[in-house]
Structure 1
Amino acid sequence: MPASKLTYPQTRRDNVTDDYFGTKVADPYRWLENDVREDRQVADWVAAENKLTDSYLASLPGHDIFARRLKALMDYERFGIPVEQGGHYFYMHNSGLQNQAELFMRDSLDGEGRVLLNPNEWSADGATALAEWVPSEDGKYLLYSVQDGGTDWRTVKVLNTATGQQLSDELQWIKFSDFSWAKDGSGFYYSRFPEPASGEKFQATNENQKVYFHKLGTAQADDRMIYATPGHPKYGHSAHVTDDGKWLVIITSEGTDNRYAVTVKDLTKADSEPRTIIPELTNQWVPIGNMGSTFYFNTNKDAPRGRIVTLDVAAADPVATMREIVPQSEATLDGANMVGGRIFASYLVDAKTEVLRYAPDGKALGKVDLPGIGTASGFGGEPDSTETFFAFTSFATPTTIYRYDIATGQTTAWATPKVDFDPSQYEVKQRFYTSKDGTRVPMFIVHKKGIKLPAPTLLYGYGGFNISLTPGFSSTRLAWMEQGGVLAVANLRGGGEYGKAWHDGGRLHNKQNVFDDFIAAGEDLIAQGVTTKKQLAIQGGSNGGLLVGAVTNQRPDLFAVALPAVGVMDMLRFNKFTAGRYWVDDYGSPENEADFKVLRSYSPYHNIRSGVEYPAILASTADTDDRVVPGHTFKYTAALQHADIGDKPHLVTIETRAGHGSGKPTDKIIEEYANLWTFAAYWTGMKVKSVE
C-alpha cells in the first residue's frame, strides 16, 4: 500500500458559504462539525477514515517494535509531588503500565502508603481519570474530580480519608475550576457553569461561570452562590481561600490572557460582600500568600517579565498601597509561592528553571540548588511548613521528586524513577537561530551520542497562549531517539519564555511570526546538517496543531512529515464551540474585520494549496475533545483529501472515549505513539530496528 496512491472515503461537499465583511468563504464540510456521538453520518465518516488509516499503518514496518519499546520505556514506577495536610501526605503513584495513576496517602513521609482512590476500577476501558484533588486542612476529607473519556467536564465527589467511604456529595457541570476548602473543613468553594441544553454538552460555548460554596452533606442545588458577573457572561472566575482562612480571593479573567481582575471577601464577617479591588482586566495578578491584609502578588504591572509586590487589601485604595518586594529581573518570573516564611520564585532563564529564595521583605536568600539544567516545579506548602517538595526533569532525566528542608536548604531525593535506558548515552544542547525578521530564537536539540547526521528529525513547537516549552523527560520521545532520531524543540514567539513581549510578538496580528519562527527552525536544522528536507517531521498539538497545519500550507516543500494533533484548524469558526471563545485573546475574533483578514490568511482549513506537492500527513483528534472540538480536524482532513496535493498519504486517526489529552490511559498513549512514530519513520527514511 505505501507505494500507491490511496483511495480516500468519499466525503459529501455541501453548498455552504458565509459572508465575512463582503468576502464569501465556502465551508463545504460544515456538516462534519456535528457531534459524532449524535450524528450517524459523521460517525460513518469517522469509521471509514479510521478503517483506511488502520489498514495503511498496518502496512508499514516498525509498528510492533515501537509498540514493544514504548511499553518497556513506560513501565517504570512514577510518583507525583506529595501534598501534606494534617500530618498526612497525599500523592499520585503509577506502578508502571497502569492506565491511570492511583492516589495514595501516608501518615508520615516515609511511612507505608495506602490507596485512597484507584481510577483503574472506574471503567472497563481505563478512560475514566482522577483529575483535580484537594485534601482538607486537617486531612480528614478529600475532594476530588472525575474526568470521563477525556472531557473537560468534571464530576466532583468527597471522600473520608480515614474510612475510605465516599460521602453523598456529588457536584456536576464543573470545568475550568479551582477548588478551595474553608478553613474549618465545613465545605469548599468552586466555580461552575449553567447546565447546557440537551445534546449540547460537548459543543456549546461556556459562559456565565459563577463561584459557589458547597457545604458538606448538602445537595448541590442548595449551594450558596458567592460571586457572579451577569453583565459580563464571558468572564470566568476562580476562588481561593487564603492560608489563614480569613479571606476569599476571586480572580476574574475573560479569555486566556493573564489579564485579571481581583475581588476579595472577608470571611471573618458573615455578612461581608465581595469587594473588587482591581476591576480592570489589564495586568496579571496572581496571589502567592498573605500576612493579614497584606497580600503578595506575582504581577506584570510595569514589569513585562514579572515582579512580586504587596497590596493592603483592607485599604480604601489597595493599588495605592502597592510596594515592590522582588523587582523585575532579566529572567522571566514563571511562578512564586510563600512557604515556611520564605518566598520561592521560579524563573525561566532561556527556557530553563532557576529558583531563588527571598524573605517576606524581599531580602535575597540565595538559590535553590537544582540537580542540573532542566525544569523544576512544585514548591507548595503552608506558612508554617518546614519542608516543601519539587519535581525536576530534563530531556534525559526522568522526573524525580525532591524534598527541600526550608531551614537548612538541604535537598534530598524522595522518589527516583528507574527507566530502561542510559541517560549518559544522550546529549542535549541549546542552539539559538535567527528567524525571518532577525529575532533570535532558542531551540533544544537532543539525540543519542555518536549518531550519524543528518538524521530523521522530529521538530516540535507550540508558540501561543504564554505557554513555555521547557526541558522534560518523555518515554515516547525516547523511543524515537533510540532509533537514531533527533528531537528538536523550538521556543517560538507566542510562548512565555521571555515574558509579555515574547508572548505579544506571536499573537493576534503578529501570529505569522510564530510560523516564521518554526519555518526558520526547520531551515536551521537543515543548514546545520542535523537533518534534510526528506528527513524532517514536524509535530504539535492544539495551538501547536494549528502551527503544523499553517506551516505545512506555507512551506510544504520543507517537511517530509506533518503530525498535527487536536489542532485549531478552522480559524473562522473556532469561537463558536465550547472553550473557543476564550482564545480570541491570542487569535483575535473572526467577527472583527481586521482580525478576520489575518485569520483567513493562515487558517489551515482555508489555505490548502491544490496543485502543490504536500508532505505525508497524519492528523489526530478524539471524539470527546470538548476543548478543540474534533470538527476542526474532520473538516481539515476532508479538505486535504479532496485537494490535488500529491500522492503521499493524508490521513487521520480519531480516538474514541478520549479528549484533548489529559486523562488519557497508558495503553492508548502507547498505541498513539506507535502509530505516529511508525508513520514518521517510514516517511523520513528511518530504519526501525529492535532494541535489546
Structure 2
Amino acid sequence: MPRFPLALLAAAWLTFSSQAPASQQTAKDTTLIPYPETRRGDVSETLFGETIADPYRWLENDVRNDPEVADWVERENKVTDAYLETLPQRAWFKDRIRGLMDYERFGLPTKAGGRYFYLRNSGLQNQAQLFVRQGLRGKPRLLLDPNAWAKDAATALDSWKPSDDGKLLLYSVQDGGSDWRILRVLDVKTGAPLADEIRWAKFTGLAWVGDEGFLYSRFPEPKEGETFQARNYNQAIYFHRLGTPQSADELVYATPDHPDYGHTAQVTQDGRLVVIHSQIGTDARYEVHTVDLTRRSKDGWKPRALVKGFEHDWRLVDGMGQVLWFVTNQDAPRYRLVAIDLAQRAPQWRQLVAQTEETLEQATIIGNQLVLQYLKDASSRALVFGLDGKSVRSIALNGIGTAGGFGGKPGDPETFYAFTSFNRPQTIYRMNLATGQSTPFASPKLLFDPRDFAIEQRFYASKDGTRVPMFIVRKKSVVGAGKPVPTILYGYGGFDVSLTPGFSAIRMAWLEAGGAFALANLRGGGEYGRAWHDGGRRENKQNVFDDFIAAGEYLIAEGITPRDGLAIQGGSNGGLLVGAAVNQRPDLFAAGNAAVGVMDMLRFDRFTAGRYWVDDYGYPDREKDFRVLRAYSPYHNIRPGKDYPAMLVTTADTDDRVVPGHSFKYTAALQAAKLGNRPQLIRVETRAGHGSGKPTDKAIEEGADVLAFLAQWTGLKLP
C-alpha cells in the first residue's frame, strides 16, 4: 500500500562523484564569482530555554508567490551556472550520460483480460510511454504518451491500473514533480479518454471496484496560495462512479476525529474485499479495516475492524473469498507470512511461513503458489511456496542485485519479474509457474560490458562496533591497479528504506571515468528488519551519521579512495545525512552533494508531508526530541572557521515533499559562514519536484552538473 515516505530518492539517486584535487584549489575558485547578497533577518525564538536564531526564515516562502525569494533563487542560479560552465568535465559527463541512457527500457508487464500493459522508453524520451498488446506476442500499441502532455516534458504518467477485464485504464498524472495527482480514465480499445477527472489526490492507491468505478485517497482542496506549502491533514477514501462528477463521489472511510491519520484502499484480486490501511506517520504501523463488497448494496461502505492499534506492519498479499494473506512483523521483526479466514465465527491468525534470518520484504500469490522475496545482506532472494506455506523451490537470480515484481493473480500460469544490479540495467523475465523456468522478456542492449566492473560487498565497524554492510563498485582495471581513486559514498539511513543494488547511467559515467562508487547500508534503513530501523532513528539518529563517517574512514584506510578524493551524496533524508556529516567531520570529505534535503530539523513538521516524519525524527515541540534534533540539524550546526568541503546543494521549485526552503536556508547559512576557499553553491531546478517524473533531459543536465562539480574537487582524471 502507499506509504508516506520522506524520500522517494532513496533508491533513485544512487549516483554521482568528482574530479580535481581539493588540494589544488585556491581561493580564486570562489572569489572570482562572489555569492549573491542574502538579506539576514532578525527572527529568533526561545525554545526550551535556548534562543534559536533563524535569520533566513523568509526563504521558507513559496518561490512561486514571493518575488523576493524568486529573485534570490535567480541570482543564486546565475552564480552556480557561471561556475559550472568553467568546469571542463561538464561536457564530457553530459555526453557520456546521454550515451549511457540511450537504450531501450521496459517496465514490468501487467496482465488484464488477455491484454498486457507495460512501459517503454526508446532511449532518450523524456517520459516513458505506456503500451498495450493483445496476448503475449501481440503487436504493441501505444496507449499513452506523456511526452505530448507538456512542452517542457515535466508532466508525467505516475501510476496506472487496468480494470480486471482490461477494457479500462485508470491512471494518475503528475505535473512539475509535485506530489499532487490528477486521476483520469481511458477506454483501452479506442484509446479515447473518459470525461472522469479527479483532483487533489495524493499518496493514493488505485483500486477498481468491478467496472463501475474506483477507490482513491485525497485531501481537502488547499487554500489559495498554499497548494505546495500547507500541511496535509484529513485524508479520506472516496468511491468514484464512472460517468459522474467528482462532487458526487461517495465517502468510504475517514477519521475526522483524527485528522492526522492517513488512509489507502486496496481491492483483492477476486473483487470480494476492500482492505483499508490507516497510519499516522511514516512508520509501518497500521490499523486495518475491511469492507465486503458483496454486501455493499445492503450495508453500504461498512468497515469491519481487522487490526486495531498502530503497532505493527501489515502488508496485504492478496485475498480469495474471505481468506486474506499478509506479511507482518507482529512477533517477527524480520517479518513472517500469515493468513486469516474472515468467514470463521472468531477469525484467528495462522502462520504459514515463519520468520527467518533474512528480512521478508513482500509476497505475492500467482497461480496456486506464493512467491516470497527476501533481503539477504541488502541483496534479493526469491523463494516459491505452496498456499499451505510449504517450500517448493528457489528462483535463480543473476548474482548480487535487486529483484522486483512477481505480480499476478490466483490462477495465472505466469509471472514477470525484473532484475538489476550496479553493472546491469533492468532486465524483465517471464517465469512459467508450472516449470519454474525463467526466460528474458525484455533485455537491454548495452553500450558497455558488465564484466568490466567488479562488485564487492564488505562489512566495516561503526563507531560503536556495529557491523555495517557496504557495496563497492569499480572497474576491474582500477582494482587491478591497486591505487586509490576518487570515490562517491552514498547513503540514506532512515524510514525503514532498504538500499539495494541498482543501475544508474549517471553513476556508470562516473565509474567509466575511473572513479569508485560505494553504497553504505546504514542503520535507520530496513535491510535487517525493525531493529536496524530503530537503531537509526529518533534518539538513535546519531548512529546513522556515525555509520556514514565510519564508511568514509574505512574507504580511506583500505586504500579505496585517497584522503582528498572522497565525495559524499544523499537525497532527501540522505541530504540531511550529508549536511549533518559535513558539519561533524568537514575534514573527512573533499566534496558533497546534498539533494532535496531536510536541513531545518526544528521546523520540518510545518510543511506539507513533513508532519509524518516525526516517527523517524521525533517532535520538535517536545523537549527530549528537541535536544536530539538541535544537536544535528544541518542548518543550525554549521561551524564557521572550519574548512568545509566543496558543497553543491540541489533542489527544485516544485518540491512539495521536502519544501525547497530547507535547501535555501541551509545554503544561505553556508555562504554567510567563513568555511574556507571551496565553493558552497545551490542549483535550483524549475518545474521539478522531489525526483519522480523528472524528464530525461533534466536528469542528464543535473547529473552532468553534479558529477562535474564533484570531479573538480576530488581529483578524478577523465579518460
TM-score (norm 2): 0.95
1:286 to 307, 315, 334: 315
What do the CA deviations read for 1:238-290 (whole angstroms, capped 9, x no partner)? 10111111111001111111101000011111233111221100000111022
Matched, 1:652 2:682: yes
CA distance in 1, matches of 2:310, 2:458: 37
CA distance in 1, matches of 2:522, 2:474: 21
Which residue is 1:274 aligned to?
303
Which residue is 2:516 aligned to?
486
1:195 to 213, 217, 221: 221
**Equivalent AA in structure 2 for residue 526 of structure 1:** I
Which residue is 2:133 aligned to?
106
Q: Report the 3-state secondary structure (helix = DSSP H, G, I; strand = E; otherwise coil) of the residue aligned with 1:509.
A: helix
Which residue is 1:216 aligned to?
242
Matched, 1:232 2:258: yes
**Equivalent AA in structure 1 for residue 251 of structure 2:** M
1:297 to 302, 306, 326: 326
What do the CA deviations read for 1:437-495 (whole angstroms, capped 9, x no partner)? 00000000001112142100000000000001101111110000111000000000000
C-alpha contact 2:29 2:679 (8 A) present in aligned 1: no
What do the CA deviations read for 1:607-652 (whole angstroms, capped 9, x no partner)? 0001111000000000000000000000000000000111100000
Matched, 1:243 2:243: no
C-alpha contact 2:486 2:714 (8 A) present in aligned 1: yes
CA distance in 1, matches of 2:387, 2:449: 42
Deviates more, 1:283-292 or 1:328-337: 283-292
CA distance in 2, matches of 1:344, 1:44: 54
C-alpha contact 1:103 1:115 (8 A) present in aligned 2: yes
**Equivalent AA in structure 2 for residue 292 of structure 1:** G
Which residue is 2:14 aligned to?
none
C-alpha contact 2:493 2:523 (8 A) present in aligned 1: yes
C-alpha contact 1:464 1:586 (8 A) present in aligned 2: yes
Matched, 1:259 2:285: yes
The unaligned stretches of length 5 or more in structure 2 are 1-26
Q: Report the 3-state secondary structure (helix = DSSP H, G, I; strand = E; otherwise coil) of the residue aligned with 1:533.
A: coil
CA distance in 1, matches of 2:44, 2:153: 42
**Equivalent AA in structure 1 for residue 456 of structure 2:** K
C-alpha contact 1:681 1:688 (8 A) present in aligned 2: no
CA distance in 1, matches of 2:178, 2:153: 14
C-alpha contact 1:155 1:173 (8 A) present in aligned 2: yes
**Equivalent AA in structure 2 for residue 192 of structure 1:** R
- 1:369 deviates by 1.4
C-alpha contact 1:565 1:620 (8 A) present in aligned 2: yes
- 1:342 deviates by 0.9
- 1:197 deviates by 0.5
Matched, 1:437 2:464: yes
Matched, 1:576 2:606: yes
- 1:3 deviates by 3.6
CA distance in 1, matches of 2:279, 2:694: 28
Which residue is 1:331 aligned to?
358
Q: Report the 3-state secondary structure (helix = DSSP H, G, I; strand = E; otherwise coil) of the residue aligned with 2:137.
A: coil
**Equivalent AA in structure 2 for residue 617 of structure 1:** M
C-alpha contact 2:125 2:147 (8 A) present in aligned 1: yes
Which residue is 2:490 aligned to?
460
1:502 to 510, 525, 532: 532
1:618 to 648, 660, 669: 648
Matched, 1:593 2:623: yes
Which residue is 1:535 aligned to?
565
- 1:371 deviates by 2.4
Matched, 1:675 2:701: no
**Equivalent AA in structure 2 for residue 265 of structure 1:** V
**Equivalent AA in structure 1 for residue 332 of structure 2:** A
- 1:124 deviates by 0.6
- 1:401 deviates by 0.2
C-alpha contact 2:334 2:528 (8 A) present in aligned 1: yes
Matched, 1:642 2:672: yes
Percentage identity across aligned positions?
60
Which residue is 2:18 aligned to?
none
Matched, 1:121 2:130: no
2:432 to 393, 405, 408: 405
- 1:533 deviates by 2.2
CA distance in 1, matches of 2:368, 2:660: 47
CA distance in 2, matches of 1:448, 1:616: 26
Q: Report the 3-state secondary structure (helix = DSSP H, G, I; strand = E; otherwise coil) of the residue aligned with 1:271.
A: helix
CA distance in 2, matches of 1:626, 1:21: 29
Q: 1:278/1:315 Cα in 2 relative to 1: closer, same or farther (>3 Å)? A: farther
1:91 to 105, 118, 124: 118
**Equivalent AA in structure 2 for residue 305 of structure 1:** R
C-alpha contact 2:29 2:678 (8 A) present in aligned 1: no
Q: CA RMSD in A?
A: 1.0
**Relative CO higher for 1 or 2, CA cutoff 8 Å, sep ≥ 6?**
2
Q: 1:2/1:123 Cα in 2 relative to 1: closer, same or farther (>3 Å)? A: farther
C-alpha contact 1:61 1:688 (8 A) present in aligned 2: no
**Equivalent AA in structure 1 for residue 327 of structure 2:** N
Which residue is 2:174 aligned to?
147
2:449 to 382, 405, 422: 422
CA distance in 2, matches of 1:197, 1:292: 43
- 1:313 deviates by 2.9
Q: Report the 3-state secondary structure (helix = DSSP H, G, I; strand = E; otherwise coil) of the residue aligned with 1:335.
A: strand
- 1:587 deviates by 0.5
**Equivalent AA in structure 2 for residue 611 of structure 1:** G
The unaligned stretches of length 5 or more in structure 1 are none
CA distance in 2, matches of 1:4, 1:118: 44
1:387 to 408, 414, 417: 414
Which residue is 1:369 aligned to?
396
CA distance in 2, matches of 1:481, 1:206: 41
Matched, 1:132 2:159: yes
Give aligned pairs, total.
686
**Equivalent AA in structure 1 for residue 64 of structure 2:** R
What do the CA deviations read for 1:520-555 (whole angstroms, capped 9, x no partner)? 000000000001221000000000000000000000
CA distance in 2, matches of 1:2, 1:342: 65
**Equivalent AA in structure 1 for residue 250 of structure 2:** R
Q: Report the 3-state secondary structure (helix = DSSP H, G, I; strand = E; otherwise coil) of the residue aligned with 1:459.
A: strand
C-alpha contact 1:2 1:60 (8 A) present in aligned 2: no
